[in-house]
Each structure stands twice: as C-alpha cells, then as structure tokens.
Amino acid sequence: MTPRIDRLRQQSFDAEPSISIERALLETRFYRDNYGRHSLPVLRALVFRDLCEKKALYLGRDELIVGERGPRPKCVPTFPELTCHTADDLHVLSTRPMTRYHVSQEDIAAYESDVIPYWTGRSMRDRVFSQVPEEWRAAYEAGLFTEFMEQRAPGHTALDGTIYSAGMLDFKARIAGRMNRLDYLNDPLAADRAEQLRAMDIACDAAIVFAERHADLAWEQAKSETDPLRRAELVRIADVCRHVPANAPRDFWEALQMYWFVHLGIITELNGWDAMTPGHLDQHLAPFYAKGLAEGTLTREEAKELLSCLWIKVNNHPAPPKVGVTAKESGTYNDFTNINLGGVQRDGSDGSSELSYLILEVVDELKLLQPQTSVHISQKTPDRFLKAAAKVIRNGYGYPSIFNTDAVIMEQIRVGKSVEDAREGGCSGCIETGAFGKEAYILTGYLNVPKVLELALNDGRDQLTGRQIGPRTGDARAFATFEDLYAAFARQLDWVVDLKVRVNNYIERMYAAHSPAPFLSVVIHDCIEKGQDYYNGGPRYNTNYIQCCGIGTVTDSLSAIKTHVYDARTVSMDQLLAALADNFANQESLRLRLWNKTPFFGNDDDRADDIMRRVYDSLFQTIDGRPNTKGTTYHLNMLSTTCHVYFGKMLGASANGRLAGQPESDGTSPSHGADRNGPTAVVKSLAKMDQIKSGGTLLNQRFLPGVLKTDQDLDKLALLVRAYFRLGGHHIQFNVVDTDTLRKAQARPEEYRNLLVRVAGYSDYFVDLDLDHQEEIIRRTGQDMG
Amino acid sequence: MASSTSMTGTLFAIKRYALHDGPDLRISVFFKGCPLSCLWCHNPEGMRSGPEAHTSPEKCVACGACLLACPHNALRAAGQTLIRDPSACPACGACAEVCPSLAHEVVGRTWTVGAVLDEIEKDAPFFEGTCGGVTFSGGEPLDQPEFLEALLVECGRRGWHRALDTSGFAPWETLDRIRRHVDLFLFDLKHMDARKHRACTGVDNALILGNLRILADLGSPLQLRLPLIPGLNDDEANLRSTGLFAASLPGVRSIDVLPYHSAARGKYKKLGLAYPADRIPPANAEMVSRAATILQNCGLSVRIGG
C-alpha cells in the first residue's frame, strides 16, 4: 500500500457517516419553481442538471480519482421526492446506536422549514402508502413481506463495457439520431419518446458539466499548489475530467474516472437499490491495462494505486439512510456495490486476466467494508484464480464471495436472454442475477415464507397479535393429513403473492410516471433505442424479483410436523400449536425433541430435502411468470440479506424448535445449527434445489481459520467449490471465524453446531468438543490470528 | 451364501468431508475394535469392539423418557443425574432413541456393506476428477478383514480411491489378501524399539515392521505416519532409526509427522475411561521441528500433519 493510499484509506475509514441536506434543498427549490412546466422526464433531467451545476464539490488532497456525491466523504444526501424524512426520522438517524448518520440541529430545522412542507403528501412513499389496500398494510405490518420501493428507487444497476468505448457526446449523437427517426404519424408513443430522449440528452450534458466543474477545481488547486508533484497530478486530473465522461476514455486512469463519474451520476439522480456496480471491472479495464503496460505509460504499481483510489471512493459512499422496516431488512452502511472478477467474456472465453489478480491484491490489502468483491468461476476459469481468491477468503473478511458463472448464464438463458448478454451478465448486490448494462432487474421485497406456514397453522391469523391477516384456510387441528396442511400453506402463499404483486405493479407505474431516471437510461441498453425510461421498460430485459426468505426454517418446520404429528403421531397438532403459542414455555423436552429428532435440511437427507424441493417448487409455481407492468414477468430469488433477522422477530415459535423472535435461516443456508454432517452434506442438500430456475441463491459456510491454514487446505476448499458448482450451485461464501464467535458458540452451542474446527490432524465440530478442549482451541486460534 | 453387500461389520463413525486422512476430499469410515491400546489413542471409542452406550449428564433435561424406554432396567435416576449399570446395559440404544436432548449416545453399530456404500456414495460427487475417495480407519480395520475386503472390493468396483489407515498389526495373510484392493496405505510407525513399542501400544512391533517391509517390497503405495509423542518416541535414537528404516523402504520418500495433542481427553471422560496420556504434554513447535530435522537428515521429506 502506498503512503497515499494508506492516508486516503484511513480518512475513509475514520470519516463519520453524516447527512447532507444540500440535494434536498436544491431539488425542493427546483420542484417549487418548475413543477408543471415540463414533462416529468425532462423535469427529472433538469433537476439532475441543476444538481450537477450547483452541488458543492470535493477534491481532497492525495486524491487521483475525484468526485463525491455529498460535500465530503461519507456524507450522504437525501431523496425527499421518494421518502421525505421527518424531523423525528432525522433525529433517530442521528442518535440510534446502529448505522448512525450525523445530522446537525440547523439542518434538521432547515429541513423542517424548507423541505418537509413541500414533500409531505407528495413523496413517493406518502403517495404509495395512501393508496395501498388495508389488507396489504396489515400483512406488511405483520412482517409477511417487505416493500423495496418505499424508501429507495427500484434498482440493480450494473454496467457492461459500453462506457469504455463511448462518451456522453457519443450518447448524445445516438439520442439525436433516434429523435430523427421518431415516427409521429404511426407511433402513438412518439411524443412520449421524444420527451424521454430530450431528458436523456439533458442528462448527458449534466454529467459533462459536473466533470468540467471538477476540472476547473483541479486547475484552481493546481495554481496555488506549491508541491510540484501534486501540482502535476492536479493538472492531470483536470485533463482527465475535461476528457471524460464527454468522450470515451483513452487510458487506464480515464477509464476509472469515467466509471466513477457515471457511478456518481446514477446515485445522485436517484438512490436506486444497490447503488451501482461496474460489473466485470477486470474485463472492462484489461485492455487499458495491457495498453498502458505495453506503451510504458502505466506500471503495475500505478494501476494498483488508481484501483485503490476507486475502492476508497466506493467506501466513501455509505448507503442512503434508511428508517423503519427497510432499515431492519438492510441495516448496514453497505450499499452493495459488487464488483465481479473472472467469469467469461462475451465470446465465452475465460474472463480472468492479470488484472483480476491485481484487483484481488487490492481487495486483500484495503480490507474495506465496500465495495464487495465476488469471483466468478466457470469451468474455464483456471484453478490458479480460484486459489488466489481462496487465499483472500482465508484472511477472514467473508469475501470475495464465489459464483458459478455457468449457472448464472443458464439462469439467464432460461428466461430468454441471449447467450452473449447472459455471459456479459453476472451478479450484483448480494447474489442477484442480471444482464449487466441491459436489464432492469428489480427486487420488489422479501417474502417471509415461514410466516406463510404460521398463517396456515393458525387459520390465517398472526400468531403474535392474533390479528386475522390471511384467508381462513381452516383449523389446523382438523387437518387429517400432512397434505391438508400443505394445501393450506399453498393457499396462503398464493394469496400473499397476489397481494404483493398487485401493489408492486401499482408502485412500478408510479415510478414510471413520476420518477423516471434519464441519466441511468443513457447507459443501459436499449433505453435510447426504445426511447423509453429505465423504469418504463426501456432496458432490453426487465425482471421483477420476489426474494423468498427462510427456506431452511420452513422446510425444517414442515419436516418436524410431518415426522412427529403425522408420521409417528407422537405429538398431536393441538399439543404442538399450544406449545408454539406459548413459545415452548415448560415444553423444553418437546422443543428438544422437535429440534433433535427431526430430519432437517442441510444434511443430505432426502426426507427433509424433498420437502425443501416441494416448497421451492411451490414458490416457483406461485411467483415465476406472473406479469409485471412492462410486458415481462416476475421471477423467484432466494436472497435474505439481513431480513431473516427482522422476519424472525416477526415470527412466533416455529415447529422446528426455534423460539419466537429468533432469526430465520439465511438465504438458502440451512437453519442455524441444523446441518451436522459437514459441508459436503450441506452442498448436496442445496444442490437438490433447481437453482437454475431462480435469480440467485445464497449459501453461507462458516469455517475456522485453522481449517484453511495450509495451501493444501485451500486446494480442498477449491475442490468443494468446484463440486458444488458442478452440481448446479449458484453461490457460496465462507466465513472464517474468530475467537469472538467461538465464545458465542460456547454460550449458545445449539446455534453453532455447524462450526467446523481443525483440531489437529483432523477436523471436528467445535460444539462437540468438551470445554477444556474448546478452551484449548480458542487459545490456539488466538495465536494463529496473531 | 450371503452376498458381499449384505456382510456386516461394526463401525463407530462415518465422517464426511474428512480433510486430513489422505489426498483431496475424503469420507472416513471408522472401524470399531483395535488389538492395540496406544497410550495416546485419539479415538478411544474405537478401541473396544461392539457397541457401547454412554451418557452426558449435563445435557439431560430430566424428562424420564429413557427410564421408561430402557428394556434392561440399566438406568436409574440419582438426583439430577442418571446412573447406567454397565453390567445390565447391552447398549441396545433404546435410551438414545427416545432422548430429546441427545444426552444418551450409542457408539458403534452394525452396518452392512451395502449401507456403508450408500453412505459413501453420498460424497462420491466430491471425488469426481480428483484423488479424493474413501479412507478406512478406526480402530483397526484389519481386525474385521472380511468386512474390510468386501468394502474395498465394492469401492474399487465403483472407481473410488481407497486409503487404508492402519497400524499394520495383522497376520501377513490378511494384509496379503486386502493389499491388492488398497490404493494407498496410511501406515503408522509408532516405535522402532520392540520393548518400548510393547510398553506404549500393548503389542510387539516385529509383525508390524515385517508387514511394512513386505508391502514396500511388493510396491504397495505407502504414506508413512509418525505420531510424535513427547517423552515416548521423540528421542533422537528412535527418530533416527525410524527415519533410516523408512528411507530404506523401496518407494518411500517421505513421512508425515503427527504431533501429539490432548484433544481426545474429553472423549475418554465421556466413555468413562481414565486418560492414560494424562501426563504427556502436547508436542510443541520446537519438538516438531527438531524431529523433522532428524528425519530429513535420514533422506526423507517431512510433512507436518497429514
């Protein structure tokens, strides 16, 4: 790490997240003065241009890649047109113990006087919530699902390589060409398209202005700079900012700055989910890297420093502040920029290059919260790359995560994308599959699948509040067979997905009409060609995902009911429901029986895995193929982010022996502590899920550092990954855990049953060891970690 | 005559994702029963043949289910804890079957060859295109030779790599029968001195060393392993003679050193056994590196762990 990077990194690390109200003030003023004078797309583009012209700039000492969304690092604007925070919200954000954002009292006062009065009743959130049916509201409040669009714009924006061969001036030419071809005689939407294209054109200008202002600022700083080296850098920065994003980048530095301006533009225009990601950054930059090295204008170390600058820039941008349920489902500063490495190229050849290894070095050295990095492994990917990634994983940050390129491509081909577009696609956010640069793949919200079972067990009532939420599917005590119960579950599921889709489709129209994103539309194919916005079907592909949570919990619960209530008949439904309602009070022996004597998901046991398959199939049948409002369809996704914790809080005790309020299983991982046969069994269970029919699954595996000590251990990790992918897995990630976790494991062993530790010449489960030896391992691990 | 897949034997565990018992990813099949009684044995549950039942009182929730379920009246409550009468308990497993909290456990049960193969089959996708496979360990697999042979033959038929983790203490005729079905021997060298070997393990080493010599002469693939036990076999003289003997074997170029640790202490406690290695300290880094140097000087490459 160079001294410059060390300083920038430390600065980024130390900066306190805070809120800037500048954007809200500028935007509110602009809306007050101009709302009604322009079409909505043009209005939005003009707002964006106004921000680009007026917002305070930041150009920090040491910086090579420039531009901040706020006035300084980690200072985040608000988006009152979507969600207008109340003074109370701002106060909460500023004082809550977790994911706090500092807001000054003066800013809160200014917000109250200038921002809140205008947006109250006008913000997207206010308008949506005033329209949703009571049935939806009750289900939402019961924690049956979440709604992604109530505080942030629909998102999942990842780029392909377009911006490395075309600048804003090129896009303007394409827009003009499309304008000329508008057919006002025969195309009833020609006028709408014209407005959209005009808006895109304005957005291109805005991005150029923003860069020019940075060039001016760099030039100003250069004039008064006394250090000749820094002066030269500032002159170079000015030169770079005059060239990009107006034109296509000419070298490595410009390519990084090009991306960063586009990234900033998109997260300034709106606060779409998962910020923005460059997609296959190593592939995009590889030609610039090779050219620079060949011409002698770039060294490996310079490239590494510039990459580090970009990494720090991403880390400077915490997620927009969230409140309420959305804060619970995604309670992190991480804004989920997920940089893909490796994979395959558009022509199907291996996508990894020397630059991929260099980026892994950057990731390993910087150890930043953001951006996330993932490695994409196809059958063509060399083992050397997988092992280089495993070495970083061993250091215990939980990244890079590992994706199966071949599965990701198949998932996309299944839903009708071209092979080339699918190859250029990948995974963004956490694990969500999409065609980078060509698709709006919108997450709509998480679905609490174990809660759906809870409704089926309680005739549609919420076990926690007693409130009637879902349809009345019958008293579970009268269900004669497991099939009767499953039928009730399927009916509840059908009902909730209906409800969710109905409201999402409404929200989708609201965004298309009121919140178009002309700048984002410029860089996503085929918005220009169609003359349609990103939110209105402009992209080549348009997907809506519903993310299903708790497959482990619901499988295990159904398995427990089947095993004990219907097969062995050793527990009556009446007895079970009473115990669940009482949160197993004085029923510890029953709870343990359910927990210890039931086939659970994650053990390569068909008795449980067949139930998982059945639930997964029900989810697929219920969700996949439902129409959205853009002429395309909904698909299934199996992501939970942190929502399994929130959903768990909203769920009573469950039949797998889980107590009320405890987290549900995460992603597609087995329930915490349910898998006891090691990672190969977990992987086999997961592989029984037809993952190709999803838009992504997520498997967490927890390892102790000692298990990954030698290079041979890394080889074995690679073998496990390759085998999982051969079996059709989408994603796997490894947590290499520390002493703190081991202490927790000692305190609550049943939750940590799957924690594998290297004992000496063999590995064993930590909780299966006696206390003395656990202590010994803890001591040893402490030494290992130095 | 019963077919080979219906033949039975006694195992105490099958562990998937075994990382340290041979090349690549493996599944380890642990045989119950061993003719040796090494002081440092880290799998004491594999020493005795036949099933054993035991109880972890700290897990007991005092539900009483086991007392009702035991057909042999071998259990009785004593305050908050349970007492098992070993003379009355045939380890039938009825208590473990009903216990909600997994306080009772039966170690060792009868398996058919077919059932073991089904279990191995589950991990077979992880062997594909690698050197991974199955490792037979114990206890001493050679103590159940017919069962072992049937398993080796069936695994070979399925194309799985077969490793045998053994003390080598068996009649040569037994080894001679099974050796052609073994792809890799993990062979322990515990002590070169016959008297000390007997003191540490309960048996003489002449048969073991003789078997090893013949296997090597016949070209069987061998991976030698030396459990390094402070104070018992880590003296220079023994290490030198171990190293020289190993280096003299055709085809042997390396040895794995497995440093002693006290990880098994808890297992002894659970089994109600005294821990015979109570006074042996764990092998420290200095001992290990000293041992490695001596062995290297004999012309061997040395791997720690394995």
pLDDT in tens, A466-494: 999 999 999 999 999 999 999 999 999 99
Secondary structure class of A275 (helix, strand, coil): coil
The pLDDT score that the predictor gives to residue A781 is 41
Tell me the mean pLDDT in the region A514-522.
97
Helices and strands in chain A, H and E counts: 32, 15
Q: Does residue B270 belong to the interface with chain A, where contact is any CB pair within 8 Å?
A: yes
Q: Does residue B18 belong to the interface with chain A, where contact is any CB pair within 8 Å?
A: yes
- Using CA atoms, how far apart are residues A686 and A668, in angstroms rounded to an integer? 7
Q: Does residue A586 belong to the interface with chain B, where contact is any CB pair within 8 Å?
A: no
**Domains parsed from chain B with CATH numbers:** 8-48+109-304 (3.20.20.70), 52-107 (3.30.70.20)
3-state helix, strand, coil in chain B (%, to 5): 35, 25, 40
Residue A251 above 90 pLDDT? yes
Among B208, B209, B210, B190, smallest CA distance to B200 is for B190
A430 is catalytic: yes
- ipTM attached to this prediction: 0.93
Query: In this predicted model, which residue has the larger pLDDT, B83 or A597?
Result: A597
pLDDT tens digits, A204-230: 999 999 999 999 999 999 999 999 999
Q: Does residue A780 belong to the interface with chain B, where contact is any CB pair within 8 Å?
A: no
Average confidence (pLDDT) per 10 residues, chain B, 306 residues:
81 91 94 96 92 88 92 88 88 94 93 97 94 96 98 97 98 97 97 96 97 98 96 96 97 94 84 86 92 96 85
Q: Does residue A746 belong to the interface with chain B, where contact is any CB pair within 8 Å?
A: no
* Distance (Å) of CA A776 to CA A24, A54, A780, B282: 56, 61, 6, 11
Residue A645 above 50 pLDDT? yes
Among A755, A612, A744, A763, smallest CA distance to A690 is for A612
- Using CA atoms, how far apart are residues B112 and B137, in angstroms rounded to an integer? 17
The rounded mean pLDDT for chain A is: 93
Tell me the mean pLDDT in the region A298-313.
98
The pLDDT score that the predictor gives to residue B67 is 93
Return the structure tokens found at A784: 């290992």
Confidence grade of residue A351 (pLDDT, cut at 50, 70, 90): very high
- Whether A497 contacts A623, CB under 8 Å: yes
B112 strand-pairing partners = B8
Q: Does residue A783 belong to the interface with chain B, where contact is any CB pair within 8 Å?
A: no
Q: Is the dihedral of CA A292, A295, A298, A300 positive or negative?
A: positive
Residue A581 above 90 pLDDT? yes
- Record: contact A769-B266, CB cut-off 8 A: yes
- Using CA atoms, how far apart are residues B212 and B172, in angstroms rounded to an integer? 10
Residue A459 Cα to chain centre, angstroms: 34
pLDDT tens digits, A523-537: 999 999 999 999 999
Which three-class secondary structure string do you get for B73-97?
Answer: CCEEEECCEEEECCCCCCCCCHHHH
The pLDDT score that the predictor gives to residue A28 is 98
Q: Indicate the residue of A593, A604, A716 with minimum beta-carbon distance to B19.
A: A716
A152 strand-pairing partners = none
Residue A32 Cα to chain centre, angstroms: 34
- Using CA atoms, how far apart are residues B262 and B252, in angstroms rounded to an integer? 29
Residue A783 above 70 pLDDT? no
Name residues whose C-beta falls within 8 Å of residue A19's C-beta, 6 or more positions apart in sequence: A75, A76, A77, A78, A90, A93, A94, A101, A102, A103, A107, A321
Tell me the mean pLDDT in the region A23-43.
98
- Record: contact B16-A677, CB cut-off 8 A: yes
- Whether B14 contacts B116, CB under 8 Å: yes
Name residues whose C-beta falls within 8 Å of residue B181's C-beta, 6 or more positions apart in sequence: B149, B152, B153, B156, B162
Catalytic residue among A204, A427, A430, A527: A430
Q: Indicate the residue of A715, A760, A771 with minimum beta-carbon distance to B263.
A: A760
- Record: contact B101-A678, CB cut-off 8 A: no
End-to-end CA distance of chain A: 21
**Cis peptide upstream of residue B231 (ω within 30 degrees of 0):** no
Query: In this predicted model, which residue has the larger pLDDT, A733 or B169?
Result: B169
The pLDDT score that the predictor gives to residue A273 is 86
Q: What is the DSSP letter of A113?
A: I
Name residues whose C-beta falls within 8 Å of residue B16's C-beta, 6 or more positions apart in sequence: A677, A678, A680, A681, B27, B122, B123
Question: pLDDT exceeding 70 applies to what percent of chain A?
Answer: 96
Entry pTM:
0.93
- Whether A690 contacts A616, CB under 8 Å: yes
Residue of B15, B17, B225, B254 to mutate when probing chain A, most A C-beta within 10 A: B17
- Record: contact A684-B261, CB cut-off 8 A: no
Residue A775 above 80 pLDDT? no
The residue of chain B with its CA nearest to that of A750 is B101
Return the structure tokens found at A24: 């809200």
Name residue, tokens 């923005």: A276
- Record: contact B126-A592, CB cut-off 8 A: no
Catalytic residue among A411, A432, A664, A751: A432
Confidence grade of residue A515 (pLDDT, cut at 50, 70, 90): very high
Residue A326 above 80 pLDDT? no
pLDDT tens digits, A131-185: 999 999 999 999 999 988 888 899 778 999 999 999 999 999 999 999 999 999 9
Q: Does residue A676 belong to the interface with chain B, where contact is any CB pair within 8 Å?
A: no
pLDDT tens digits, A421-437: 999 999 998 899 999 99
Report the amino acid identity of residue A499: L
- Using CA atoms, how far apart are residues B113 and B3, in angstroms rounded to an integer? 10
Query: What are residue A318's phi and psi, to 5 degrees?
Result: -65, 160
Of the candidate ranges A258-267, A380-389, B282-291, the one whose mean pLDDT is the lowest: B282-291
The residue of chain A with its CA nearest to that of B130 is A719
A548 is catalytic: no
Q: Find the helix or strand (DSSP H, E) in which A733 lies.
A: strand A731-736
Indicate the pairing of strand B104-107 with strand B52-55: antiparallel
- Using CA atoms, how far apart are residues A691 and A683, in angstroms rounded to an integer? 12
Q: What is the DSSP letter of A562?
A: I
The pLDDT score that the predictor gives to residue A289 is 98
Indicate the pairing of strand B109-112 with strand B8-18: antiparallel
Q: Does residue A677 belong to the interface with chain B, where contact is any CB pair within 8 Å?
A: yes
- Record: contact A680-B17, CB cut-off 8 A: yes
pLDDT tens digits, A604-644: 999 999 999 999 999 999 999 999 999 999 999 999 887 88
The pLDDT score that the predictor gives to residue A711 is 87
